Amino acid sequence: ARAAAAGFWYLHQRDTEKAEKAFAVVRSLAYGEEMYSLAQTLHRFSLAATPDSIASLKVAPIAAEPSLRPQTWQAISSLNLVITEMALVQRSYSQQVRSLALNRIIGELIDIADQQAANLPPAEKELILSIVLKWLKISASIAGTVGTVTITQPIPNPYIIGDPVIGKRFVGREDILRELESMWSGDNLSSVVLYGHRRMGKTSILRNLEAYLPPNVSVIYINLQRLATVTSLAEVLLTMAEEIAQTLAIDAPEEEKISQHPEMYFNRYLDRLMRQILPEKAKTGLIIALDEFEIIEDLIEANTLPRNFLGYLRSLVQSSPRLAFVFAGLHTLEEMTADYFHPFFGSVYPIPVSFLSPESTRVILANPVGEDEDFPLDYTPSALDKIYQLTHGQPYLVQLIGFHLVRFYNKQVFELQRPQDIRFQVEDVEKAIDDEFFQRGNYYFTGVWKQAKQDAAGQQEILIVLSPHLQGLTRADLLSSTGLTDTTLDWALKTLENHHVIECQDSRYRIAVELFRRWVSETKQETMT
């Protein structure tokens, strides 16, 4: 009895440490364990005096009903919510999410002070109110840096699917850009090949190059898809010259002259550009970025371009230390071994463009409008982990999931008038992976699938066999299941690994992108006999 009375007295005196010790004596009595847990919780809460220390608190377990102190546990439940929201304020990537979380914190604390306090037992009432007052002051002290925001209308979808990401929304390729920046920071500009799967972000890198280069270096972006309908070398060079002229705001070459002597006239055009026009514009270097470069091979195979065209481009690459080319395309660029390609790619530096890192994936999802603007939605850490597990950091699929999640939020809140947490959970991510998602992503999935039909035989057979197995299969499993010879299997596995379609861990091969595995499993299984 003496220990129990002492425990309540120390609570009243706000001496939580002594209250905890007193109630430890009576834990075996009825409600003794509850009062010990309550004193222990209030002791921990009373020590938190900064935003970080509040956010780092463990959420307190609530006593089972019937309890001796139901009103106190209600207040502790509210304080638990404050802890959870403060963790968002301190750790969320999104400014608007932090703002909304801070609003909820202040709302919970005011509710305890204005509404719940009247029913709190006298022994712990002043102690709880002192915690509330302290946490309110802490919240108010950071309100100026967090700001306030409310969501009153549908959120414009900031995720970009299909088009290149340009400007402040472009993140996640700092390693490649730093490498290019170092190669182009001096007087001698080196030419490079960027290669990787479709929708891996190569075009976005090219479209953002100029922002990462010195102001005296100009970048000309040329998408070679424009050449799909050309019929001659003159048309190819004229198209390139017109893009250069438009970017630099100069006169384009005369079509009649370039038609008569394509290579000679284009050489003169570039020479005049480098010697006269660039210095007039206070420029010392020029980088010509050719996207979808594999189209050049198609034009050579169709006899639209002569087989020595790559030799001509190579001569341009080597013509001036102040002129460089960036050739961007599929993995096949690195693997081209035809006699007209091999010497050409021996003179340029290859850079693979692969998956995003987990951290870059998180930044893209949480800040799709750029770091300087606010995005009102957020993701739980487990939701971000889930998206990375599904996409392996494939940029197009990351953006596509974000796009579907924003559509889902707007529909729930503004069309169906249903409550929806601004923080996406794992369940929300799974809901976003519906039939419409796979329809929108079909261009990516079929692109990877079609490329697996090229070069080494047996790639598609391996993918079909692997698709039902989330944990992958061993080489022996694949050899028996596909019916391929040892040589064919090994060459196909090596090609798929080089193309980042599969990966091998602990001697087991598995499809790298989980969403692609699901697509193959759903759409290609029926082709097995």
* pLDDT higher at 371 or 66: 66
Query: Mean pLDDT for the chain?
Result: 88
Per-residue pLDDT averaged across 142-158, rounded?
72
Residue 160 clears pLDDT 60, i.e. is over it: yes
- Here the tokens at position 430 are 């799974």
Per-residue pLDDT averaged across 113-122, rounded?
94
pLDDT at 519: 96
pLDDT at 371: 63
- Here the tokens at position 42 are 């209030």
pLDDT at 337: 41
Residue 412 clears pLDDT 60, i.e. is over it: yes
Per-residue pLDDT averaged across 449-474, rounded?
93
pLDDT at 181: 86
Residue 313 clears pLDDT 90, i.e. is over it: no
The whole-angstrom separation of Cα 242 and Cα 477 is 55
pLDDT at 315: 87
pLDDT bucket at 44, cuts 50 / 70 / 90: very high
Percent with pLDDT over 70 in the chain: 93
Q: Are 220 and 252 in contact (CB under 8 A)?
A: no
Cα within 13 Å of Cα(43), Cβ side: 18
* Residue whose C-alpha is closest to residue 352's, from 211, 200, 171: 200
Q: Are 224 and 291 in contact (CB under 8 A)?
A: yes
pLDDT at 419: 79
pLDDT bucket at 369, cuts 50 / 70 / 90: confident
Instruction: Encode pLDDT of 471-480 as tens digits.
Output: 999 999 999 9
Rg (CA), the chain: 31
Q: Which of 8-17, 43-52, 105-114, 156-165 has the lowest mean pLDDT?
A: 156-165
The whole-angstrom separation of Cα 220 and Cα 288 is 5
